[in-house]
Chains A and B, each alone.
Chain A
Amino acid sequence: MRTLEEAAPAVAPLQAVNDFVIRFANVNGSGSASANRLFARAILRMGVPATPRNIFPSNIQGLPTWYEIRVSEAGHLGARGGTDLLVQMNPQTWDADIRAIEPGGYLFYDSTKPLPASKFRDDITVIGMPLTEICNRTYTDSRQRQLFKNIIYVGALSALLDMDPVAIEDLLREQFRAKEKLIPPNLEALHLGRDYALAHLPCPIGLRVRPSEAVGDRVFLEGNAAAGLGAVYGGATVCAWYPITPSTSLAEGYMRFAARYRTDKETGKKRFASVQAEDELASIGMVIGASWNGARAFTATSGPGISLMQEFLGLAYFAEIPAVLFNVQRAGPSTGMPTRTQQCDILVCAQASHGDTRHVLLFPEDPHECFTMGALAFDLAERLQTPIFVMLDLDIGMNERLCAPLAWDDSKRMDRGKVMTAAELEAGRDFGRYLDVDGDGIPYRTYPGTHATRGSFFTRGTSRDRYARYTEDGAAYQDNMERLLVKFDTAKQLVPPAIRRDAAQPTRLGAIYYGSTAAPMDEAVELLAARGIHLDLLRVRAYPFGAEVLDFIEGHDTIFVVEQNRDAQLRQLLIAESETNPKRLVRVLHYDGSPITARIIAAAIWNDAAPARSVAQPEAVK
């Protein structure tokens, strides 16, 4: 085993307070995720923003998995790239993980078995702790040896990073509130690791966590759970879904919250129904059936599910049936990388199904917006009588993220859209299911069972006239398709507008981005501004694009469109809608399955924009 003294780094060890990246390399199924999460939450409890990312394989047990925590008092929540402290618990990925450590960084590893010097680097600080040996000495049960090893290294890290263990102790007590007998052994394991580190390791190292107030009143949750909660607040009563990573926890989140808030206390009966369908075709079929019948219904899925739903989505568009789809995007096509993040379903959702279709998309940036857009989607679906896609991705869906507290206005009521009532029908009001009476392209509908003799209609994917009567008359078909375009125009006024943030000084450069790219974009623009590249920003929150998006494109010479897919999918939509010269929209793409980082964005924009300005390459931009 090499000691710290023997491995004196060739470059100065990193020194940072509340600003570094820890990466845990673990084996899937070893119980590491909950220990790592405990550690991340302890940092948050100390008031320091910390953003964890679980990078996991499509596997239940045995394959490599990583857990990364970005600690950033400045509040940068996007992935940064690079590792300052590697907690290496998985020999399988040793070499590649060691290579990714920043010069001057730190390696913490299980030193029970000696490793040759060639396995280390001389420009990092190496900290060995015989974790397996300690566990084998302390515990006899093999499962305990495994699980407590994780808690022991959390204890050691608390000492190395100069953290008060109180936050971890509190979290352990909260976690095991229902299983109290687990609290003492966990606390013992924590202090076993901490005490060993204080006695034998060079505590603290150059990376420190110091109490702060930077977290404020923000909350910490997964986008999927937030979207599921949004569906509860949005009044969804029917959920139909099929298990698929990374969307499963969204439906499960809905069920958990609905069971809590929608169970009748007297009868125990539920004010919701959730059906695990046999496939995604059935999921969307049920959503369409329920919405047609006046319930608020949704499904949660990912790319392959969207592909299977295509025919039904054309029906919903053409027959004008509300539907809400949460698409938690992952790398495709086909199974692709099912546990890695991308924004790769923009086009397939915007133009889902055969024939001429256009669909409304919402792009939440974080769990807070997953909640608000999750609720809003149901109002939009019923107001517009069309499918609404809430486009999450794995990065915000399956990772907990710090965000503004969830908020709700109690005076708000569901917008059920244009629904003709029995009283209106009785009064003789003219009802044409596909009749545009208000000029906004949105017709009235009736729920089945409303009136004994008036207001019934036949819903079909086949062409029909304004009174829903079957017809193959070309003019009637075209009339209907034109009205659907009017309706799509109306949608532009109803969806959340893009948010513009101008640079501190006038610039002809702009950047358009959306969804989970928001956090790294915020950081990238700071990196670039510090080096003289100034960008006006536009965060697109919905499709169709409002006038503000087209104005932004008009108002800049060069617009960088930052996306997490190969084909620059949003850029294609922007070009189609704005009819601008495509050369003005510069692709900034990242699609290897890892979340896009500020460094990647800044480097790409720098490389494109800097030559014209002859400014030196910034140090922080690699």
Chain B
Amino acid sequence: MGRLDFVARRLLKSVAILLAIVVMNFLLIRLAPGDPASVIAGEAGAADEKFISQLREQFGLDKPLTTQLAIYVGGVVRFDLGWSYRNQRSVADMVGERLPATLLLTVTAFMLALGVGVGLGVLAATRVGTWADSLVTVAALGFYATPLFWVGLMAILLFSVNLGWVPAFGMQTLGVQMTGAARVLDVAHHLILPALTLAVFFVAIYARLTRASMLEVQDMDFVRTARAKGLAPARILRAHTLRNAILPVITFAGIQAGQLVGGSIVIETVFAWPGIGRLAFEALLQRDYNLLLGVFFLTSVMVIAFNLVTDLVYSLVDPRIEVGS
């Protein structure tokens, strides 16, 4: 019951946070110069005042800002994310279409980063001061310091262009209709490079964090108790040291979820991955207000959901956190 209460409370809070985000995004976006009407008119080569104001009227941009806001928020509350005048489609349809690709990319990258990062962190912590430790530490710092898009471009050059191991862009092989297992394998093949690239930055973070946390826990009293019991080193490492050292890593992973979604925008653009990140990039260039706000809304939902899941997982792995009580 306690856990259900906790989720209910958090969901209520999340709704309030989401509304605040929606309002803020709506106002911020209006601060940027240019609007959809001017962009469309400009592209049509007919940027005269009359045409632009006609478009503005059509898009509802002539109304006072507060009215526009009220209309938009009213829509969001009814799960109506508005209409993309640019693409002449419903925003909900567009982002809904792209969401699975982004989820696939970010969740895969997240798992990879956590698994590999924690593994490397443990490796380094159990071999402090050896070459393995130094290698992990230096590599982690290197990847941490390198911009994501650069890692992506270099990975394409090396693994697709030169070695030809994996495809460089897209989510599936174009022009071939595949079904069942063949399709899954094809998508997985396309996923390797973007997911690894997105993960690499976070691997670095989790590896360093795990290493530091392991070293701290190693000196704790209960690890000494475990040794005094005559336990085998592997058992001490798994059941006592790692089990406790992982806790701050999980907390941090939740906080980093937002960055992961942000990073996916860059990766999707570099690898032409058909997700909402790329959609956001395109919408931004076109000043497609509604589409951009729709993408923002969805990413906010994702980040909040990520955090909620992390908190739930945390309460499962740390019995001291009793949610809801």
Pairing of A with B = no
Interfacial residues, chain B to chain A (CB-CB below 8 A) = none
